[in-house]
Every structure is written in C-alpha cells, then in structure tokens.
Structure 1
C-alpha cells in the first residue's frame, strides 16, 4: 500500500511538473513596425487576448512582456488593423497594416468602456489629430469640425477674432434653450457658454424687449487648443449620447487630449505664419450727382413750393460736397478702410512627450496671436498643458491632465443696434465722399451721415474679453481582481473646469455719439464671470469571458456634478472727463446673476459580444438635478443597441463583400430645466429713497421637468474590394418632448409669464458616407471620403399659440414656432396672404455634402476639403439697411424687379411693409474649407544636412476658406445676430465679416 502511495505521488508530481514545463512563464520581446515602410510604431497596445494584461511599445517599437508559452497576444493601435499572434518563443516581431477603413478603431460605448467601430451599433463620428490640424491651422476647436463628419449644422456666428461657433447635431433640440452639444474633455464636463458683455447699454440692440444675447460674444470652447487634441468623438444621437443623461439632449462631443508613449523624449516645434483677409468684399456704390439727387432728395408727394426750394438747396449742397471730394481725390473705399486689414496670424506649438513602461507624459506650450481684418481687433492665447500617467504598482494606474489657458480677444463693436453706433451700422450709413479721417492732432470729424464716425469708434472703443482658465482631471484605474476569464476593474475620475472671464467695454466721452450729453455721455461697462464646474465619477467594470466566443462587459457607476456660475456686470455712464473707472461716473448700475446647479445620478450597462457576430448593449442612466421642480426625482434614460456582423457568420459566402453590418439603436437623453424656471424671482426697487425687493413677472413652476428626447436609428455598413471601399447608411428619427416655453398666464395671478413644458418636435434625417482607398502603393496613396446628410424637423405639438421668435418680426422675416410646421421655418408678410404669414424659407439646409481627400506621394502630402451646404435661408437685414441708406453696392443694378422697371435698391425698398420675400435670401454655398500641401524631408537629408539632430522636418502651405461660391448678398451666408442658442441662426444685421486665412508651416522634431 505504501509503495502504491509513493507511486501515485510520483505520478502526480510528474504530471504537475509537465504542466509547469508546458505552461512555463517566459519573457517575450519583440518589435512592432509599419508593414509598408518598416518604421517602428510607438504606443502599440500589446494585450493578452481575453484579459487586460499587457504593455505598450516604446519609441523604437519595442516591447517586453511576461506570458505563458502559447499565449495569444493582440496588437492594436489607432489607424492600424488589429493583429493576433501566438507566443512560441522569446521573440515575436509584428508588422501592422494601415486600417484605412477605421473598422479596428476604438470608440466610446459607455462611460468607462470602449468598443471596436466594426462592432458599433450606432453612428459615432471620430476625428483624428491629423484631420483636426493636419491640413491647416483652425481658429478654434469647433471651427475645425466643419464638413468633417455627417449630421451636423455648424455655423460661424461672427468673423471676429476669438471665434463664435454654433454646432447643432441632428437638428435643434430646444426652442428656448441651447441646442449646442455637451463637451467632455478627458472626462471633464466643460462649459461652452456665451456671456454678454453689456454692450446693449450703448447699442440698444434689445430696445424692442428682446432678451436675446446680441453682444456678439465668443463661446468658451474656443479656449481649447486644437493642437493638443488626439481624437474627437461625436455622439450625435440619443442612442450614443444617453450615457450622459440630462445634459446630452443636443449630443455630446468627447475630446481626448494627447498622451505620451514610452521611449526617449520627443520634442516638436511647430510654427505657422499666416495672414487673414476679408472673405468676400462687396465693393461700394458708385455715386454721381444724379444718383445723389434721386436717392436722397427725391420730391415728396404734395410738396409745397417752400419745401421744393429747401429740398433743392439741400440737394445742391450735397452735390457740391460730392464734387469737392471727387475733385480733391477724396472718394474713399471705406469698406477697405474698415475691413481691409491684412491680419498677421502666428501660431507656435512646442511639445514634448516620452516615458518608460511605467510612466508616460505629454507637455505643450502653445502661443496663438492673431490680428483681425479690422484694425485694433485680435486674439491672443497662451496655453500650457501637462498630461501624466504612471503605473503605481502592477494593475494600478493614475493619470493626470492639466491645462492652463490665458487669452484675450478684442472683438470690435458690431451686429444689430438701434442707436446707429456700431461700426457696421455706421459704415453702411456713410457715403464714400464723406470725410471721416482724423486730423494731424488726432481729432476726428463728426459723421454727417450717421450718429457715429466708425473710424473713430474703431480706434477709441474697447470691447475685450479676457479669460483665465484651468481644466484638469485625475483618474485612478485599478484591477480589483482577475482570473483567466474574469476581471473587475475600478475607475475613479475627478474633473475641474474653472475660469474667470473679464469683459471690458469702454466708450469714451469724445466719441461722436457720446458728445454733448448724447448717448450715455461716456460708458465704462465691466463684467466678471467666475465659473467652477466639478465632477466626481466612480465606476466598476466587470469583464467576463466564459469562452473564446462569448464576452460580457458590465458597468456600474455613480456621478456627482456641481456647477456654479457667478456673473457681475457693472455699468457706469455719464463718465467724468476722461475717466474710465467705474466710480468716476454720474450713474452706476450693478447686476449680479448666480446660477448654482447640483446634479447626481447613476449609470449601468451590459454589453454582450458573441464571436463578433452579435453585439448587443442595454443600459440605463438616471439623473436628478436642483434645476428640476422636484429635486429628488430621478429621470431615467435607457438605451438598447444591436449590431449584426453578417460577414462573420459561417454561411457568409459572398467573396466580393468583405464586411456587412446591420445595426439598430434606441436611446433617450435630456436637458435639465433652465436655472430659475421653478422660482419666482425678485428684482430691486427704490421707493421714496428706500431700497426694497419687487416680485418678478415670471411665476415659478414647481412642476417643471427636463426636456426629453427619444431616438431610434438604423443603418448598415458595407465594405468591398478588401474593405478599400466602405459605405455606410443611417436613418434616424428623434422625438423631443416636454420642450420648455415661456407661456402667458392670467394677469389676475399677478404675473405675466411662466416656464412650462409646452411643446414637442420631431427630427428625422439620413446620413450617408463613402470612403474609398483609391490608390494604395508604397509611394502613392489616395484616400477620399464623401459625406451626405440632411435633417427635417416638425413641431408636432404646441400647447401655446404659435409665436414668432429669433428675429425682428414678420415684416422683415422671422422664425416661427407653429404646430405642424418645420421648427426652423422662416415666415413673413405676403400681399397674397393678408390674413397671415407665408413661409419664405427655412434655416435648416436642404442637404449638406462634404468631400475630404488625402494624397501622399513619396514625401509630399496634399489634402483638401470641399463643403456644400444647399438650401438654407437667412434673413438679410444688412442689405435692407444699406438700401435705406442708399449705399448698397447693387443699388443701381436691375435684376430683381419682375417688371423690370425698378433698380434693385428701390425694388427692395418698395417691398418693405408689403412682402418679406426680398429679405429672406438663399444662404447656400460651396467652399474650399481647407487645403494644404506639405513636404517631409527624408531620413538621408536629415542625416547629411542636419547631422541627425532632427528626426523630422516638415514644411508646407495651407489655406482656409480660400475659394467660395455663393449668391448670398452679403459677406458670408454664415451669420447669426443672436448667437448660437436655440432658434437663433440665420439672422444677419451688419456682422463682423468672415475671413479667409492662409499659412506657411514649419515643424521640427528632435
């Protein structure tokens, strides 16, 4: 028995030893290179399949990893196809092929997880660093998105330095609130507000009672530097954006900044030098003596002899003024004088990145200095970033991101006004023979044609925004436990977005419209906004691989979000002498707006993948907010997605079709009620010299709830010719309910209005994309992508009477909210419809199409992007105002009057008060958004000429908006007098014109 025992023990030990030998842990080393060029690839993820164990390659493409012999490794990197290989020894070198289809690209699938694009069930756009800054130098991050993905309507609200962009994804999602997407930067909820600077005190733009922001401010996403961005992912629909709950009704834009890779420190210096000029100069009207008489001194009806004599005397004096200016050579091109500055553009980027297996870092210093096309306008920004990642111990990583920004923008004084004081209004009122230049002592003459001398305003007025901002995050990722087929990971994230915005508007007493107790008698308007957004998030991610074909990924997370914005605006008028201090004035007014908000919620999601054939996801986000009527009520936002990769099934036998995916997705998202909707506010009042509080006119609504949307999308992706030709199609239908409106209440209540959930609308549209790798040779590659999309909206329910909004009334053309009609329709009076208004257009484009191209030939790179927007209309009041002042460049042309009797200017004026049709114009365009050509010095030149000091040198030329085709009768079809919120786009009143930009580039890499 004892002998048999020893024999059994020996057999067991022998078996165990054989298993140890078979599965002996070894250290495998290798190098990952690019298949075509053989160049090493840094930052490649090397992962043991079915786990998260792994490493990444260093700067030379090398990696080292302890694994069991026979282990299957997965090699993945953005822009390259994944590759699997088994470990059969101590050396495993790998070549990765470029993935022009982006099927292996990893995109967001949850708050703490990602998914391969080939398995994605909804349409998520992803934009790489190359697409963001690889062609030209964008002015702002949102400006870099033009035409680069489907499903967006992007409009530049202003050409002023510092930006001003409105982004709407798949149509409008709010009537009174913002339809701009939520921005997330490295997990931080980032503010993108546009804050008024108080210019209305001087311009009186809102004199008609409009509460809309007409101060032409920039939006705060402009603070970010495009050069720091690694990728941008756009969650357009609710099925993707629902993971962000009650802040994602308008979609989500997720920005990931650059991180370091192991290897020696790489230093890169990039310098771009360029120039900006007006996009579309209109020219000026050519005056003659007769045109002056006909325009300004036409006889009136039933004119008396005395009136005739006075009119003729005034006409003679005006004609003499013109003749004297003409004879002295003093007919001025004031358009060129005001908008003709050739703005110098400078953009400097210094970055460093590197690290080792445990620590990685990326740092940058960015300096932007841009002059505007109007003198004394410009934008300056200094940005410093440090991103750091460190593996504290095995399976525990901490990552920190930090970005400090200091910027200032001088934006001039433009857009609508009712005082005749903005530069745009004053310019179009001025005749070219009027003398406005300062004398040798710097004294400006008064403008006889307008309340202000726009050259004096340009040189003496200050309208500045100054920002100090910090955006930072801290992320802890730890593996709690792990087995061969199971893993539990904890992810904790803390984020902070904090800025101080200082606005300064100075209008000295010596200005024409401030002299002799006119206007405000001098004004100093100073604002200060302090914002602090904090977010805390914690997640558990459980991965379970019961077999090689089946996987489950479960997420559970909680969130706490705190937002606080405090704005003070102090206006001092009737300034004393040349003083600009707030206390050196006869009248001082102070306003303060505090907007605190606290949100909390949780998120749960389950992803199931069977052999990459079936990929299903279900999830639920729940949120509550201090903005809701019931602060403790949770609002739920579910999602459910399904993707079928038919080409992965065994029955698939169509060799010509390499991939075919069917997908469907459903999701809900929301937008919290606007701060203050549930309250009845108080205003200040002084009675008999005593200060007190006055109850506001808005009745609080304790039942107010978030706006909600439900969206279903379905589509397919198909690839042929080895996936070198990829086509995708998506149809979506989005229903938005509980839209917030301001409704009238009975005056017997003591109030006039109340915010209610009072409307519903529907958006539906189609998105199609075609990507073709037309040429794929070692020395020549040509990749082209074509995107087509459109959106249609309809107000499906309106529980208040139809109303006009976002413009200046039906006489001139206005947006109108009406049940059964497009949410963005433009209507106006019509002589054939005396009992109502007629639809003259729509601010939503009929369709958009973009064509993006990348060509490389040996060391040359060439890229260009065309963008076609068809069918949108604008309300063009700039032309109306030039007509009223007799200065329209086409005033004397004759191509508008159907009868052929009136010139353009008189014809448009004849329709004022009769029909809004002439003021609603087609805003279609085709433009060359971006074009760039670059040359990369080859390695031999770098070695022979620079002795290997530089590892890369790149030189090039690029342009932005260089070629434009449109019939719109103004500087640019992209305008919005009311900024980017809600129903606001497409209304033009003498804006700061857009510009075209070109650059010369030099990049050095050490």
Structure 2
C-alpha cells in the first residue's frame, strides 16, 4: 500500500521535529583563564562520540549535541582539558594553561593513550613548533638533533640529502638493526640507507674493512618536517614492548597534521636562505725550503714558479667554499565540515651544497582525510608522495685517492689543477685524481619516488554510561623506488685503466602492515577505569636492489649497454613478521596507574620461523599529589613510577642460510658455496629494561622536573664467529654475547616569567649513558675502523661497547708496542637548553643550545694530511722541542694521536619571528616574518671539519654481503663532506 503525498509530508514533518528534539546546538566561547583572551583552535567534543568541532579566531564554537549526551570536553595543546555539561544552549569555558603538560595525551600502546600525569614511562614528545618552528632543518632526521633526551644523534656527513645515525639509550646491537623504528600515522616505514656502489671506484671497503662507506642518505630523510603535528619517542623496552622485535632500538611515533572542523584555512610559507661551510681546516703555507724538504727539487722549482706568478691556490676553499641557495616553499590547506575534514600540503625544498654540483631537491604532496560516517564509525586516510633528488658528490674514505678529500690531502696549493684554454684539466702529479675535474665531471645522484598511504577504521561496537568497546584497524603501505647513478667519464685522471665507469642501481622496497585491535574502556565509578586492548599485527617487507657496474665506456655514453665490460649484482630480501598482544591499563582515583601487557612475536628471519617469542611489559605510577591526604598546594604533581619491559631484534636477513655465490670456471657458469655458514638455530636478540623515575610539578606547573634511571640488558647478541676449521667455513652468525646500558635522563621545564605581555619559557635536558659488554663467548675483536696502528673500536668482555683501542709504544720498552684502551666514543653526558621569549604575543625569540661533553672520534683526516704534507700546522712546533708537529705525529708510532675529544657546544637553532598585527577581516588571518640560523655557532677543540661526523654511522644495508654497518663505530672521521651552517628569511601568510 503506497502512502499519499499528504501522509508522507506529515511523516517528514514528524521526523524533522524528532530530529530537532534529538539534538541541540550548543554555542559558546573559549578564553584564557589568566588573561581573558580568546583561544582559537580548541577542540570541542561530545563525550563518548567522535563528534567534534574547533573554536574560531575569536574563540567561538557551535556544536550539535545528540540527545542523551550530557558532557562536552575542551582540549588544546598547552592547556588543561576541561569538561562541562551540555545541558544549556550556551557553554562558555575559561581554560587554564598546563605548563607541566600534565593533561597532554601520550600514546602508551598500539592503539591506546593516557594522560601524561598518569604515565608510567619516560616518553619524549616533540611538537610541530619544537621540530621546525625555530629554524627548519634540511631534512626530518637532522631536525631531531639535540631534542631527544637519551639519544645520541650523529650526522654521518654534511652531504645534501641527510644521513643521520640515531642511538636511543646507548648501543642496542652490534651487527643487527641499531636504528629506531619509525611509525607515521600507524604506517611502519623503511629508513634503511642503500649504497650506490661507489666502493667499486674508491675501494673504501678493502684493506680488511668490510663495512660499507658509500655515504648514502637515510630514507627517513624523505619526510617533510612541515607536515608533522607531533612526535613521541618510546626510548626503552618498557615503553616499546608491544612493538615486539622491531622495537629494540626504540620507536619514533610520528603524527602528521589533520584537518579540523570549521573554515578552510590556507597557509603559505616561504623560506629563502643560504648555506656555507661551517669550518675549514686551512692548508699548509709552503716556503721554498719546505717544498724542497717535503717533495724534492722539481717540486721546489714548481713552487718558486707558482709563487712568482702569484698562483698559490687555496684548494680547500675553492672546493668547499660555495655559498648554496636555499628555497623552501610550503602550501597547506585544511578545514572541513562536521563529518569530513581534510589536510592538504604541497612542499618544494631546493638547497645547493657547499661543493659545486651538489644539492638536494625534495618535492612532496600530502592529503589526509577524516570522515565521520556516524557517531560510532569514523575512517581516516593518510597519503603522501615524495620525489627527491640528492647530488652527494664523492667524499669520505677511499683507498684509491679519488675522493675529493683524500686527493686534496696530498695536493699542495702551488700546483695548478685548473682547466687550460682548451678546457682540459691539468693532471694532478701529487695524487691519483684532479679533484676539481672529478667535481665537475662525475655524478653521484640518489633519486627517489616514494608513496606512503594508510587507512584507519575506528568503530564503537558498544557504549553506555560505564563502558565503551571499540574496534580499530590500521593498514599501511610504504613503497619507494630509489635510483642511484654514479658516473665517472673516461676523461677523468683516475679512469685511465677502467676507461670510464657507469654504476647504476635500482631499488624497490615495499613494506606493508595490517593491525587490528579490540579496545574496551570500563569505568565502574568515577574513581576507577579499566582499559583493555587485544590485537594482532602483520608486517611484510620486500626489498630488491640491482646494481650494475659498466666500465670501458664507449665515448661519452653512460648507458650500461654502451660499455666493454659489465658486472651485475642483485640483492633481494623478504620478511614476514606477525604478533599477538594484550594489554591492560588500570587507573585508580586518577592517581594510581597499573599497566601490563604481553606480545607474542615471530619472524621469518628467525632460525625457527614458526616459534613465537614472548615480550612482556609492566608499569606502575603513583601521583601522590592527587591523594586525599595531600595538602601541599604548591606541589601540583608528585609522581613515582617504575616500569619493566622486553623487546627483540631479529637476526640479519639470511643469517640462518648458507648462501651461494656466482662463479665462472672455464666459461661455464655455476654457483659456489659461500664462506659463511648458515645457523638454523639463530634467534633474536632480547632486550630487557627496567626504568624508574620521579616527576614533580610545582607552582601551577611553572616548574616541573622529570628524572629517570634505566638499566637495559641485551642478551643473545648477534655476532659473527669463526666456526671449527673442519667445517671449511670462515664465518657464522651466532648469539654470542650480552651487553648492558645504564643511564640517567633529567628534564627541567621552567616558566620564569608569565605576564600578559611577556612570557619566558625554558627547557633544560641532561642525559648520560654507560655501556658494558657483560659476556662475550667469542674472542675479542676489532670492528669499524682501520687497524691497531690507527686506533679501532674493540669489543671485549668487561669493557665499554664503544671503547677505542690502539697500539702505542710500550713505556717500558719503546721498541715494542702495546695494545691499550685510548678512548670511548660515548659522550660523558649531553645537555640541551631551549628558551623562548614572547613579547606582546607578536615577537618571539627562540634558540636551542646543545652541549656534548666528551665522546671521542677516530680522526684520520689529519693523518692523511700529515702523510700528504699539507696539514695547516705541519710546520708548527707547539711543544717547543725542535721537531715540527707534522713529522712528530707521523713518527710517534702511537695511535693515541688519532683519538680526539669530539665534544662541542653548538647553537643548533636560533630564530626571531614577528607576527604582524592584522585587523579582523574575512580573508587574511595572519602574517609573520622571521629570520633563523642552524648550526651557525659551534665551540669545539676538535681538529676536523665537524665533531659530529661518522663514516660508518647510518643503518646501511650491504647489498653484497647482507651485513649492514655496525651499531658501534660512529665517530670515524675520514675526509667527510664538510658540515654546513644555514641562515634563512621566513615569510608566512594565513588566509
């Protein structure tokens, strides 16, 4: 039976009336409780739903509240969360500032959060303003430096495109993964560095050192820092245990910016600046006598001719003295309705290097969309595309004297290497290469296309006044294609034998993750809550690298098939990891927090890929200031906490298999068994960590202190040992040692001045770590450097994992040498100072100072310049003993001269910004201008381009042996790409 039009109209009117009755619009204004000023951007949500909005520029908001909903929550970064009744049509809120960030929500599991005031772990948080709001760094990884208590962050070189080594709370592995896991909006992303095959030209990994030294950039550098909303760093196993065998080196959780309900906001930001070399070593000033003494009579004549013609060149300045232009343009658009919000950004960053023909170009697009299907179901989508290109030059160690720095070390300034009138470069008679010709003709490029996407589904299955049950599902894909091209024309001086080389690589990497969680929140009373989570995860990885080296190039051709000889190498690895976990968090009287969890984890990289390894965690915190007996109003929070957890580190890919290598005998191809024996019983490293601490906030949070002590033990270290000679093999992976890290982290936050027109905030962090090899079931061994006579990292039981040893003359018998400890690459401590002064809410001065006390480098750059006779202090006699410093160092026979204190004090970031007052209008919201500098001031006694350098620092995959760079030997200095400093002008406009 069909309804008549009149009947249908009546039903529609009834439904409309019911809908009006079923919900009401609540309006209001949010202001600052201290000064009464409006607060824009406050998130207003209806409790127990995913319905929300944000306040406008005048602090006003409007939200539709469904029938039966009685509570509204108001939250904003830096303010205490407020709850109010939604009963009336108008709800005005005055929010109090949360100086100690006690109401800040912190991630505690794969899908759960807790207020910082109840947090039982030390979790570092970096906001968008902390990350890039002072002085934007070139890459995301570089922007972390000095901001993470408990982390040692080292730039592997100053080459454009990044390349950073990050150690969380000391050494977590020797040969397995030593870098943290990066998770962006729930997507597990790959951060490995892939070499370009430069070793075929430089032979840097010869002479008994198998570590890769191609100086590639880390792929996490692809991420645009301007897209990041916040970062949380889970430094220890107790915090990261639910991430299982990927969390041994810590977890970096990155949340990108999302749209908010309200008007569409458009923001355009332009950075224009320049980069210059931070420091030059200088070059030896020759005389006729020293030229004769160092090189001989023909070179003395060359010097005298050059001196007479006024052609004494400063090749170091000519090579490293370029001023690079920085252009960074960012556009973002965000907004949305009550149901759908979006955030879109486009960014293009171009930066020239301090060496001619080097530079970095990164273009990225991001689109994040969130849609509320209804009050119970919402879905969020994250997408990011990156195209980058890095020209990195030819630097770092080499054994063929072809890199810029090594050739420069042997070249005096009185020889002429410039082009003649026909455009031909003059040969370098002092080294194997003319570095000016190499710079101008060779290519070393990394080109990346990367696509990252993820989807999140959040559905409330059940909810009432006391309990809510949700299901959350995450799926993510991280794919990139990396093309490397290293081209060396036949006309180069050192290409006489090879007649040119074209080394081209193609890498495809695909990571996927699928996670599902069931979360139940049960609140039987206002003083008790239970948060229960169970879930499962699945991660896969598929990495393939093809590297082809062609020599004897035909003319100027660079195609691989236009060559007389070609060698191809292919490296492939796949893994599949899955885990099952459960976690329970109990909060009692908003003062006690009890948390416990367990994860069962397995991986195809393990010897027994079917076996589940167990990683438990437990934590407790007690905030005494929230107890009824507490009557000290000056102390707002006094929390005691303790936590224990375990995580793992899977064995290197292929360690359980005996591999085959290609062979050709008499023209017949075949395969031979490699010299490394597979170990079918290999198992993960297991990390167990206990941490305890105290957090105090006084004077309404204007003074807060966080103190943490941790004791981290790593058992079943993955090391390479020599099996029995009867096996016929020379190496085998084994679980052959134990390691311990102990440390302290202190954080002090201050608001010394908080007036209406001026505010000064300050954050001071101090941290230290001490490592110890507690067990080693194989013989002690050297790793990551160049032998006893030049100092080397040395692993032995009962000593720090980062100790440096070397040979020195025996004090009792100078004709013989003894092998002794000479230093330690681990700093004695590190400290950072961040300060911001705001005046009239318009003018702000911000700066970050980083102090690294101690920590030694193996500096072989000066050793090479001593050998080449070009050290700037070669002819000095600082100790007045009548022997020149250069010859004295070379003749000392002691490796101690290469071990140098790499401590420093550095102004990492400084920025002065001004918000130009804009009258209220419908179009223009804000205009800001500023000037900033990165690494502009550094104080150090280190004799080198930069104390923050390492030839072996990155998490590099070795596509020849599947053995990556080790996690210990950061701080090796061999003619790196010099570090740079940057200064920029910023202009931003918001519509």
TM range (shorter): over 0.9
Structure 2 Cα separation of the partners of residues 900 and 658 of structure 1 = 64
Q: Does 1:901 align with 2:879?
A: no
Structure 2 Cα separation of the partners of residues 57 and 949 of structure 1 = 19
Q: In the TM superposition, what are the counterparts of 1:361-440 in structure 2 within 5 Å?
A: 361-440=342-421
Deviation sequence 1:180-211 (CA, Å, 0-9, x none): 10000011111011111000111011122432
SS of equivalent to 2:567: strand
Q: Does 1:866 align with 2:849?
A: yes
Number of residue pairs aligned between Structure 1 and Structure 2? 953
User: 1:962 is matched with which residue: 929, 933, 936?
Assistant: 936
Q: Counterpart of 1:299?
A: none
Q: Counterpart of 2:927?
A: 953
Q: Counterpart of 1:7?
A: none
Q: Does 1:762 align with 2:736?
A: no
Q: Does 1:976 align with 2:955?
A: no
Retained in 2: the 8 A contact 1:420–1:451?
A: yes
Q: Does 1:1005 align with 2:984?
A: no
* Greater Cα shift, 901-910 or 121-130: 901-910
Q: Does 1:482 align with 2:458?
A: no
Deviation sequence 1:60-103 (CA, Å, 0-9, x none): 54131426689343322222111122345211011223322111
User: 1:888 is matched with which residue: 871, 894, 909?
Assistant: 871
Retained in 2: the 8 A contact 1:37–1:778?
A: no
Q: In the TM superposition, what are the counterparts of 1:563-712 in structure 2 within 5 Å?
A: 563-712=541-690
SS of equivalent to 2:629: coil
Structure 1 Cα separation of the partners of residues 774 and 165 of structure 2 = 25
Retained in 1: the 8 A contact 2:50–2:372?
A: no
Q: Does 1:322 align with 2:303?
A: yes
Retained in 2: the 8 A contact 1:276–1:996?
A: yes
Q: Counterpart of 1:141?
A: 140
Structure 2 Cα separation of the partners of residues 282 and 381 of structure 1 = 31
Instruction: Identify unmatched segments of 5+ residues in structure 1.
Output: 1-19, 297-314
SS of equivalent to 2:246: coil
Q: Counterpart of 1:841?
A: 823
* Greater Cα shift, 315-324 or 273-282: 315-324
Counterparts in 2 of 1:54 and 1:948: CA distance versus 1, 3 Å = closer
Structure 2 Cα separation of the partners of residues 835 and 906 of structure 1 = 19
Retained in 2: the 8 A contact 1:870–1:925?
A: yes
Q: Does 1:985 align with 2:983?
A: no
SS of equivalent to 1:218: coil
Structure 1 Cα separation of the partners of residues 225 and 654 of structure 2 = 35
Deviation sequence 1:283-319 (CA, Å, 0-9, x none): 21111111222333xxxxxxxxxxxxxxxxxx33222
Deviation sequence 1:757-801 (CA, Å, 0-9, x none): 111100000000111001111110100011000000000000100
Q: CA deviation at 1:38?
A: 2.4
Q: Counterpart of 2:151?
A: 152
Structure 1 Cα separation of the partners of residues 283 and 818 of structure 2 = 37
Retained in 2: the 8 A contact 1:782–1:856?
A: yes
Structure 1 Cα separation of the partners of residues 254 and 72 of structure 2 = 29
Retained in 1: the 8 A contact 2:949–2:972?
A: yes
Instruction: Identify unmatched segments of 5+ residues in structure 2.
Output: 1-17, 956-966
User: 1:855 is matched with which residue: 837, 841, 848?
Assistant: 837
Q: CA deviation at 1:653?
A: 1.8
Q: CA deviation at 1:395?
A: 1.1
Q: Counterpart of 2:221?
A: 222
Retained in 1: the 8 A contact 2:65–2:86?
A: no
Q: CA deviation at 1:369?
A: 0.4
User: 1:506 is matched with which residue: 487, 498, 506?
Assistant: 487
Deviation sequence 1:335-388 (CA, Å, 0-9, x none): 110000000011110000000111110000000100000000000011000000
Retained in 2: the 8 A contact 1:109–1:115?
A: yes
Q: CA deviation at 1:26?
A: 5.2
Structure 2 Cα separation of the partners of residues 778 and 962 of structure 1 = 32
Q: Counterpart of 2:519?
A: 541
Deviation sequence 1:733-756 (CA, Å, 0-9, x none): 000011101110122212111100
Structure 2 Cα separation of the partners of residues 333 and 948 of structure 1 = 58
Runs of 4+ in structure 1 off by over 6 angstroms are none
SS of equivalent to 1:207: coil
Structure 1 Cα separation of the partners of residues 705 and 866 of structure 2 = 49
Q: Counterpart of 1:746?
A: 724
Q: Counterpart of 1:561?
A: 539
SS of equivalent to 1:317: helix
Q: Does 1:918 align with 2:897?
A: yes
Structure 1 Cα separation of the partners of residues 948 and 678 of structure 2 = 37
Structure 1 Cα separation of the partners of residues 516 and 70 of structure 2 = 32
Structure 1 Cα separation of the partners of residues 377 and 172 of structure 2 = 41
* Greater Cα shift, 699-708 or 835-844: 835-844
SS of equivalent to 1:121: coil
* Greater Cα shift, 665-674 or 439-448: 439-448
Q: CA deviation at 1:52?
A: 4.5
User: 2:712 is matched with which residue: 716, 730, 734?
Assistant: 734
SS of equivalent to 1:386: strand
Q: Counterpart of 1:190?
A: 189
SS of equivalent to 1:347: strand
* Greater Cα shift, 579-588 or 614-623: 579-588
Q: CA deviation at 1:114?
A: 0.8
Structure 1 Cα separation of the partners of residues 370 and 516 of structure 2 = 18
Q: CA deviation at 1:654?
A: 2.0
Q: CA deviation at 1:491?
A: 0.5
Retained in 1: the 8 A contact 2:904–2:938?
A: yes
- Compute the TM-score of the two structures, normalised by the length of structure 1: 0.93
Q: CA deviation at 1:835?
A: 7.0
Q: CA deviation at 1:891?
A: 1.2
Q: Does 1:124 align with 2:106?
A: no
Retained in 2: the 8 A contact 1:489–1:540?
A: yes
SS of equivalent to 1:261: coil
Q: Does 1:334 align with 2:315?
A: yes
SS of equivalent to 2:810: coil
Retained in 2: the 8 A contact 1:466–1:501?
A: yes
SS of equivalent to 1:246: helix
Q: CA deviation at 1:949?
A: 3.7
Q: Counterpart of 1:305?
A: none
Q: Counterpart of 2:792?
A: 814
Structure 2 Cα separation of the partners of residues 751 and 288 of structure 1 = 56
Structure 2 Cα separation of the partners of residues 757 and 289 of structure 1 = 60
Q: CA deviation at 1:527?
A: 0.4
Counterparts in 2 of 1:386 and 1:34: CA distance versus 1, 3 Å = farther
Structure 2 Cα separation of the partners of residues 66 and 871 of structure 1 = 59
Structure 1 Cα separation of the partners of residues 717 and 282 of structure 2 = 44
Q: Does 1:824 align with 2:798?
A: no
Q: CA deviation at 1:657?
A: 1.7
* Greater Cα shift, 767-776 or 138-147: 138-147
Q: Counterpart of 2:959?
A: none
Structure 2 Cα separation of the partners of residues 473 and 159 of structure 1 = 33
Q: In the TM superposition, what are the counterparts of 1:4-19 in structure 2 within 5 Å?
A: none
Structure 2 Cα separation of the partners of residues 479 and 72 of structure 1 = 18
SS of equivalent to 1:594: strand
Q: In the TM superposition, what are the counterparts of 1:191-340 in structure 2 within 5 Å?
A: 191-296=190-295, 315-340=296-321
- Compute the TM-score of the two structures, normalised by the length of structure 2: 0.94
Retained in 2: the 8 A contact 1:58–1:261?
A: no
Retained in 1: the 8 A contact 2:202–2:400?
A: yes
Retained in 1: the 8 A contact 2:830–2:853?
A: yes
Structure 1 Cα separation of the partners of residues 810 and 36 of structure 2 = 69
Retained in 2: the 8 A contact 1:69–1:87?
A: no
